Amino acid sequence: MPSAAADAESRRTVFDEDEPVPDAAEPWIAFHPDTRVLAYPDRLVVYRDPRSYVLRGLSPAVRDVLLGLGSSRARAEEVFAALPGPADRRSLRRVLDRVGHLLVHHLGPEERTLMSVVPLRAVPPALPPPLAEDTPVRLSRFALLRLLDGAFVLESPRSPVRIELADQAAHALVLALGQPRTAACLARSTGLELAAVRRITGVLVGLHLAGTAAETGPAAPSAPPGAAVLREDTDQVLRQWDFHDLLFHARSRPVQATTPRFLHRIRPQPAVKPRPPGTAVALHRPASPDLAPHEPGLTSVLETCRATTDYGPDPLRAEQLGEFLYRAARVRSRHGTRPGLYYEWDTRPLYDTTSRPYPSADSSYELELYVTVRRCEALPRGVYHYDPVGHRLTALESREEDGAALLNRIRRFHRAEPDVLITVTSRLGRLSWNHEAISYALTLQHLGILQQTMYLVATAMGLAPCAVRAVAEPETVARVLGLDEPGEVPVGEFLLGSLAPEATGEAARRCVDGWEAVNDPDWTPRDREPSPAAEHGGGPGDGDSHGRT
């Protein structure tokens, strides 16, 4: 990334920080419409869901200014100039440093708002200075123009603000920045005052929505001949970020907790998806005591766990598939869906939850499992939905060739012919009702947790597991599984089958195909029966020191 010194030098080159700007170009400020300023005898409370800021020890003049910003807008310089003395100005600056991220800056003359700068997270209350009128400016390749609540907004994953375009001239100015333009050129083409355009371009550049031409450095290899090159285009770190990846990263990291956006507006999705119509097949339910005697220790499972598509000659048994799903994905308990020992109908939570063998944020458990069977003893070929409450598979109304189409894609792209293909989908609304913008990031985290659980269970059972990237067309998957997109979308795939004999035991632990052993590959403890001392309550160090899964 560019050094701080270089960035400061570039700012001195393109920004006119010391040159006074006409008052008509100064921004108007006001608290965001969702912000409330509440007055009490001894304090002011500035509140925007879900946080409140309690301000004490304010003079009457400062209180009046803050109350005024809660109901109308004013020019920042005029606000400070109206205060009676330096102490009040210092007090107001301290307050705005604390709650300045709740301020919206409106750019344009008094009778005409061109655009509004809305903070997305805590930012300094002062806007960047105006840009020099002869500096070429172009939109960043990370800039995004979209429709929000009936108005066009400009944003970028690199920017801490969102620009609301309130005027046709502002629309034209932003669209013109697809090619390098100077403030003087933009003023002529849009009919706006030069001072206002300089202020707007300064804001766009200073808040990383646009950039100025690179003075040094090679052009990006992907840039066409003669194309304008921004400083960000020559930055080796930024060049390795795709637009959608950086946007996803920036928007899926919440800066503060929020209350459910759709509380009392939309009914949350149920904790468990209703079972689809069709013939149900009850699955084997393993008994925990039957597993303990031969179950490998946790360390052994972790050390021998690996992805493999080496399948044995014998097919997976329905009993094994039932045990696998039971241990990895069943519903263990429910909360708030029916009366019980501790819950009554009138006290059950609005957002009913479940408990399953893998963690999920707020016990949401939005993931669903669909099983496409190629070969499984005592289970017909076909496509099934897994019911985690009843622990059963329901045959879907898919044709056999539909399931074969999904398996053929796996064979073609991953060179694997698993006994079963498990497709994981997400009922994203189950998450977004509560978690808003971070929902898709959460569902991908949940997918990783579930897949790790599947790996560990399959390894403990001596099966062949492998998580793979999806290769079938989304439309095909939605049709075969009967998904109601975008209410439920596929997010991952997992292959499972019987394990080839040569991939078990010590052979599975040895490094092959050019892999170099690092950090004691023989460290894996050998499972052994506990000593008599351990069976009779021996002290620490007696018997098997490794826990059982």
Where does the chain hold its CATH 3.40.109.10 domain(s)?
Answer: 280-511
pLDDT tens digit sequence for 492-537: 999 999 999 877 655 555 555 666 777 776 665 555 444 444 444 4
Q: Give pLDDT, residue 108.
A: 84
Give the C-alpha separation, 526 to 296, whole Å.
9
Q: 206 vs 26, 195, 211, 263, 378, CA distance in Å?
A: 16, 16, 8, 37, 66
Q: Give pLDDT, residue 15.
A: 52
Q: Give pLDDT, residue 542.
A: 36
Where does 28-143 have alpha helices with state H? 60-69, 76-81, 86-99
Q: Which segments of the chain have a pLDDT < 70?
A: 1-25, 50, 124, 214-228, 254-264, 289-292, 336-350, 504-515, 521-549
Where does the chain hold its CATH 3.90.930.60 domain(s)?
Answer: 4-211
Q: Give pLDDT, residue 340.
A: 44
Whether the full predicted model's pTM is greater than 0.85, yes or no, is no
* Architecture of the CATH domain 4-211: Alpha-Beta Complex (3.90)
Q: Give pLDDT, residue 509.
A: 52
CATH number of 280-511: 3.40.109.10
| H/E segment holding residue 40 | strand 36-40
Give the C-alpha separation, 60 to 423, whole Å.
64
Q: 143 vs 139, 405, 461, CA distance in Å?
A: 7, 39, 50
**Residue located via tokens 């903070």:** 119
Q: What phi, psi does 362 have (nearest 5°)?
A: 55, 25
CB 136, CB 212: distance < 8 Å: yes
Give the C-alpha separation, 99 to 106, whole Å.
17
Give the C-alpha separation, 415 to 309, whole Å.
9
Closest CA to 427 of 267, 277, 251, 273: 273
